Amino acid sequence: MRGLGWSVFIGHFALGFAAKKPAPKVSLALTTAAVAWADILWCIFLLLGWEHARIVPGDTRYTPLSLYDYPWSHSLLMLAIWGALLGGGYWLLKKDAGGAWIVGACVVSHWVLDWVSHRPDMPLYPGGPKFGLGLWNSVAGTMIVEIAMFAAGVWIYMKTTRAKNAVGRFAAWAFIVVLLGIYVADRFSPPPENMRELGWTGLIATLVLVGWAWWFDRNREVRSGN
């Protein structure tokens, strides 16, 4: 089985889970979409030919992707703009100022986590300087950090909410297990054959996961006192 190439990067999903604590009114589907917003746009922009990447095994030890051109989906400036738009849209619909700030912060958080993991390919703004600390140069370090973050995010979500029925309980845990399974399997699978395959599989997988998060989160409720 070929991998997604971009991996699931469960460190991002960890923040989507953890956001339920400061923003209990916001659906997990929205915080999941917010933390993955950069990658959703990236897949779309790859398919449209607006952004570019190469499959170069060994570019870093963790991923075979050379991410050399993605200023509109991944630069800090554009993620701040996307975050303001997504958070502002949520505020217009729900009039929940605290939730709107969290949604916007989730979008921008993508740059921060990618700055830690990527080599210096994260632009500050389109055409601007690029930065990255290079955690991806250590496979063990990357997986330890991301799995630890994911465990913490899941723990916060589970402490903040409780299942209202069987869907809320079993679909939530199935989601967590599937995310971990894809994360590990993707790391040890061959890379995709081309960027178009990567764009489609990444986009479809992310949208399915967002829908799944919406399904089980609506069957859970915030615990009293949170």
Note the pLDDT tens digit of each residue in 29-83.
999 999 999 999 999 999 999 999 998 888 888 888 899 999 999 999 999 999 9
Domain count, the chain: 1
The pLDDT mean for the chain works out to: 92
Residue 81 lies in a domain: yes
CA 119/CA 66 separation, integer angstroms: 10
E-strand spans in the chain?
A: 52-55, 65-69, 122-123, 130-131, 161-163, 220-222
Which among 206, 172, 222, 189 is positioned nearest to 39, based on CA atoms?
206
Residue 225 lies in a domain: no
Residue 181 lies in a domain: yes
Which residue bears the tokens 């050399």? 68
Domain that holds residue 86: 10-220
Residue 111 lies in a domain: yes
Residue 161 lies in a domain: yes
Per-residue pLDDT band for 8 (boundaries 50, 70, 90) equals: low
Longest dimension (CA), the chain: 50
Residue 176 lies in a domain: yes
Determine contact, residues 175/213, Cβ cutoff 8 Å. Answer: yes
Per-residue model confidence (pLDDT) at position 4? 52
Residue 3 lies in a domain: no
Tokens representing residue 158 in the block: 């589970």
Residue 62 lies in a domain: yes
Which residue bears the tokens 């986590």? 113
> Taking the alpha carbons of 22, 176, 195, 62 in that order, is the dihedral positive or negative?
positive
